[in-house]
């Protein structure tokens, strides 16, 4: 037995020093987790991995070669379909959302909007097995390895603690998982058992996921009853202060010529910053302390704008008043899917239509644009959509 094991280890070493070093790294992770109280039974099942997950490594090094315009990003995340479905989900989970709003003081439309943007209301939570993904990132990537190791340990402890079984640890390649995509360390710190069954299960329990999101936003500084954002209009050619952190009272913004989107005056002392994500000729937004709480969920202003706007739309507010400064607006998810079908019908080989605009779709769009005598942008916008017969 002993000699067989040694033989196997030797063979691996001879075959590939990288594989052997990966395996010894994983063995080290198991030992460290065991010392932190995770059982051998859990570890043997969780870290039954002999080579890095190549897909995770690939995803972790992808540089976004395509800068998404803000109007594309919002057209995708806040389309009519998501607004309608969001309203239906809010009716269905009304008592949970109201209970979370009461207990944590966080507006229920914002809680639901996080859910809608993160996983399309629980439908797209990711398919990477977290222990393998995080072990891969710890042992085979060369960036942020101590961060990934911490996330791996946190994930294993959630299982050890009895919050989740191993087979629920599926999420994004970078470790975010569950209905509202917490990373394991955040889960460990801030998840709550909101349905009262004794376990914090943000994968299968909508109540636990929504309660935990409310708790997150509360801890991020949410102020009960205050605004998060509203659309405004700035004077033509505005070149005054902007930025989330450049906050001033509404009365100061009024002096600078800023009005509500419908032209009505601003007043009051609430502190807000001005965002002009597409410059002074596009929609403007005054954003408040609660916007910063939403921002902290994913550290991106476009993300916080999408959550804020989806919350408003689900609450019954109209679409943005000021159009984006483009003659080629973005597409909804349904239109993206339709665009792919139109490309396939024209003979472009982009695989199956799935509504996800990847490199193959972008190449086909650029080719179609060229064929139609349009500048080849590769972007899934309204112009190519119409040109191919979409409506």
By the criterion CB under 5 A, which residues form the site for Ca ion? 193, 195, 197, 199, 205, 208
User: What secondary structure letter does DSSP report for 197?
Assistant: S
Identify which of residues 196 and 225 has a Cβ nearer to Ca ion in the complex.
Answer: 196
Provide, rounded to whole angstroms, the least separation between the CB of residue 179 and Ca ion: 12
Residues with Cβ within 8 Å of residue 194, at least 6 apart in sequence: 96, 99, 100, 205, 207, 208, 210, 211, 212
Identify which of residues 214 and 293 has a Cβ nearer to Ca ion in the complex.
Answer: 214
H or E stretch at 339? helix 333-345
DSSP string of 10-64, one letter each residue: HHHHHH-HHHHHHHHHHHHHHHHHHHTT--HHHHHHHT--SS--HHHHHHHH---
Provide, rounded to whole angstroms, the least separation between the CB of residue 202 and Ca ion: 9
Identify which of residues 162 and 279 has a Cβ nearer to Ca ion in the complex.
Answer: 162
DSSP string of 296-334, one letter each residue: HHHT-HHHHHHHHHHHHHHTTPPSPSSPPS-SS-B--HH
Provide, rounded to whole angstroms, the least separation between the CB of residue 70 and Ca ion: 37
Distances (CA, A) of 51 to 21, 26, 154, 174: 10, 10, 22, 18
Provide, rounded to whole angstroms, the least separation between the CB of residue 144 and Ca ion: 31
179 near 123, Cβ under 8 Å?
A: no
Provide, rounded to whole angstroms, the least separation between the CB of residue 119 and Ca ion: 18
Identify which of residues 172 and 205 has a Cβ nearer to Ca ion in the complex.
Answer: 205
Identify which of residues 199 and 244 has a Cβ nearer to Ca ion in the complex.
Answer: 199
**Phi and psi at residue 387, in whole multiples of 5°?**
-60, -30
Provide, rounded to whole angstroms, the least separation between the CB of residue 186 and Ca ion: 17
Provide, rounded to whole angstroms, the least separation between the CB of residue 201 and Ca ion: 5
**Residue 83 CB-half CA count within 13 A:** 20
Identify which of residues 119 and 136 has a Cβ nearer to Ca ion in the complex.
Answer: 119
- What CA–CA distance (Å, rounded) separates 327 from 335? 17
**Phi and psi at residue 226, in whole multiples of 5°?**
-95, 160
Using alpha carbons, select from 209, 159, 191 the residue that is nearest to residue 47: 159
Identify which of residues 44 and 197 has a Cβ nearer to Ca ion in the complex.
Answer: 197
Provide, rounded to whole angstroms, the least separation between the CB of residue 88 and Ca ion: 24
Find the length of the chain: 391
Identify which of residues 78 and 203 has a Cβ nearer to Ca ion in the complex.
Answer: 203
State the residue number with the nearest CB to Ca ion: 193
**Residue 54 CB-half CA count within 13 A:** 1
Provide, rounded to whole angstroms, the least separation between the CB of residue 195 and Ca ion: 4
Identify which of residues 138 and 188 has a Cβ nearer to Ca ion in the complex.
Answer: 188
Using alpha carbons, select from 363, 317, 308, 364 the residue that is nearest to residue 341: 364
Q: 299-335: b or e for each residue (b if 16 or more CB lie within 10 Å)?
A: eebebbbbbbbbbbbbbeeeebeeebebebbbbbbeb
Identify which of residues 115 and 228 has a Cβ nearer to Ca ion in the complex.
Answer: 115
Provide, rounded to whole angstroms, the least separation between the CB of residue 208 and Ca ion: 4
51 near 22, Cβ under 8 Å?
A: yes
């Amino acid at each position: 037995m002993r000699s067989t094991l040694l033989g196997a280890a030797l063979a691996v070493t001879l075959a590939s020093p990288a594989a052997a070093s990966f395996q010894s790294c994983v063995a080290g992770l198991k030992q460290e987790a065991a010392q932190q109280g995770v059982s051998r039974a859990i570890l043997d099942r969780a870290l039954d991995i002999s080579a890095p997950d190549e897909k995770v490594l690939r995803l972790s090094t992808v540089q976004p070669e395509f800068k998404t315009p803000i109007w594309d990003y919002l057209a995708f995340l806040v389309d009519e379909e998501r607004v309608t479905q969001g309203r239906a989900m809010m009716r269905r989970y009304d008592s949970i959302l109201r209970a979370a709003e009461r207990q944590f003081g966080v507006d229920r439309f914002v809680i639901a909007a996080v859910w809608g943007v993160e996983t399309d209301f629980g439908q797209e939570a990711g398919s990477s097995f977290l222990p393998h993904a995080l072990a891969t990132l710890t042992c085979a990537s060369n960036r942020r390895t101590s961060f990934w190791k911490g996330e791996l340990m946190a994930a294993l402890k959630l299982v050890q603690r009895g919050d989740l079984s191993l087979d629920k640890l599926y999420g994004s390649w970078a470790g975010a998982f569950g209905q509202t995509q917490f990373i394991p360390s955040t889960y460990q710190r801030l998840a709550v058992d909101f349905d009262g069954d004794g376990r914090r299960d943000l994968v299968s329990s909508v109540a636990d996921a929504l309660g935990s999101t409310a708790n997150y936003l509360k801890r991020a500084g949410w102020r009960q009853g205050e605004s998060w954002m509203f659309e405004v209009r700035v004077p033509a050619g505005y070149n005054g202060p902007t930025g989330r952190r450049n906050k001033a009272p509404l009365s100061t913004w009024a002096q600078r010529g800023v009005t509500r989107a419908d032209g009505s005056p601003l007043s009051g002392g609430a502190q807000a910053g001005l965002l002009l994500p597409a410059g002074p000729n596009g929609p403007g937004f005054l954003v408040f302390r609660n916007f910063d709480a939403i921002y902290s969920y994913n550290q991106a202003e476009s993300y916080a704008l999408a959550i804020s706007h989806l919350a408003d739309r689900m609450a019954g507010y109209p679409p943005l008043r000021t159009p984006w400064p483009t003659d080629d607006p973005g597409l909804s998810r349904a239109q993206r899917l339709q665009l792919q079908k139109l490309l396939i019908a024209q003979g472009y080989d982009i695989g199956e239509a799935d509504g996800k605009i990847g490199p193959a779709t972008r190449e086909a769009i650029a080719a179609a644009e060229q064929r139609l005598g349009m500048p080849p942008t590769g972007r899934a916008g309204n112009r190519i959509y119409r040109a191919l017969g979409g409506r």
